[in-house]
Amino acid sequence: MSEVVRVGMLGCGTVGAAVVRLLDEHRTEIELRTGVRVEVVRVAVRDPARDRGVALPAAAFTDDPGEVASDPNVDIVCELIGGTEPALSSLLSAIDHGKPVVTANKELLATRGRELFEAADANGLDVGFEAAVAGGIPLIRPLKHSLAGERIRRLMGIVNGTTNYVLTRMTDDAMSFEDALAEAKRLGFAEADPTADVAAHDAAAKCAILASIAFNSRVTAGDVYREGITAVTRQDIEFARRLGYVVKLLAVAELEGESVAARVHPAMIPAAHPLAAVRGSFNAVFVEGERVGELMFYGRGAGADPTATSVVGDLLGAARHLLHGGRAVGCTCRLTRGISPIEDMESEYYVLLQVEDRPGVLGEIAAVFGREGVSIRHVWQEGLGADAQLVFITHRAREGALRAAVEQLRGLAAVEAVESVLRVEGEE
């Protein structure tokens, strides 16, 4: 005999409709596995009259999220509106009314997560947010539960499908950034305004959420150093290929001493690295733990159905806790770590310069790198005369030193332009 748990939804767009359908169409499996029957009983949407293609009575719909959050017939509130408001106040109201919540709202979590988690913990209620990072990939639950006893050293992930699609097309099919992005829009992998993705705001929010879990200290989106992919050129990708690398937009979170370093930027990674094989709109997160070594979680980071499986997994967890007691691991941000400035990070670097083609230029440039303590591992010239370029790969260096060197290079008469600077990550 299954017990019924009633869900109130905030928002019913493509993901919300996929959640309703999944709960309905997989009802048998769900009851068989968990002994729970989950029913969506209330849905708040901007336009209750619009057909959402879900088998719910018209009376289930309202345009007032507060009504769902406070409805005594709703046991769990599932928020899929996105953005900060009215999502946050609705979730806080739901918690205030004793209801556990499930949300896919990375923006909210990465900016106002503290308020949400403090309210939930004060009331002993679950906040499920598996769907907020890496869509359908089970990642939050493994990190918080399976790895509860582990010390995580580093997370490195491809957490934005749009940019990975664009970079994959630029790499595999020699497309320009503009053409690849236009295609991604046509195929629905990029939004009409792709800024949140290509400027890496989306990835930065996810990076903040992952860093907070891994290092037990609140990291917000604003703490994450951020560079998007708009400056990545076909030429960078081609030079990467020749050197045995591929270019990916990486979210990296790691401990530097007791501080958290969190950053999102395009980087070259070795072609043999497991993340290099993550193509198209797929996501993957690579985890390095002190005992467990290297782990990787791979799958679809977006899309209504994959995201809905994560939402439903959280709903079922919360439902089982309502019925049988217990709680998921709550907020684990018990420490207050500093945020390490980007200048303190260390990496190898790829630097592409347009230069005067005459004897002595390499010497002048090398002297600048040398003065800043940046050691050169590999350099070669591309093109001749007016097209002359120098490609540098450095040894491991401090970002601050590299930036100081690049700043001085801009002032050299021999350097016509600093065309690209990319970090090189994932070396053993």
In the complex, the residues that contact its own copies under the rule CB under 8 A are 18, 22-23, 26, 29-30, 32-34, 130, 136-138, 141-142, 144-151, 216, 272, 274, 277, 282, 284, 289, 291-300, 303, 305-306, 308-310, 312-313, 315-317, 320-321, 324-327, 329, 332, 334-335
Q: How far is the CB of 98 from its own copies (least distance, A)?
A: 16
What are the distances in angstroms from CA 256 to CA 38, 116, 236, 285, 342? 44, 28, 29, 20, 11
Pick from 65, 22, 21, 59: which is nearest to 45 by CA? 65
Residue with tokens 């009983």: 41
Residues marked active site are found at: 206
Q: Where are the alpha helices (DSSP H) in 123-231?
A: 140-141, 161-172, 177-186, 195-198, 201-215
Answer for the pair 420, 231: CB distance below 8 angstroms, yes or no. yes
Pick from 130, 55, 175: which is nearest to 318 by CA? 130
Pick from 326, 240, 327, 319: which is nearest to 76 by CA? 319
Show the tokens assigned to 400.
């601050």
Answer for the pair 76, 321: CB distance below 8 angstroms, yes or no. no
Q: How many angstroms separate the CA atoms of 387 and 399, rounded?
A: 28
Q: Which is nearer to its own copies, 17 or 92 (CB)?
A: 17
End-to-end CA distance of the chain: 53
Q: How many angstroms separate the CA atoms of 329 and 340, rounded?
A: 27
Largest CA distance in the chain: 84
What are the distances in angstroms from CA 198 to CA 74, 102, 166, 177, 283? 38, 27, 9, 10, 15
Q: How far is the CB of 55 from its own copies (least distance, A)?
A: 17
Q: How many CB atoms lie within 10 A of CB 248?
A: 29
Phi first, then psi: give them for residue 50, nearest 5 degrees: -70, 140
Q: How far is the CB of 269 from its own copies (least distance, A)?
A: 13
Answer for the pair 283, 135: CB distance below 8 angstroms, yes or no. yes
Contacts of 72 (CB under 8 A, 6+ apart): 97
- Cα angle 235, 266, 139 (rounded to 5 degrees) comes to 140
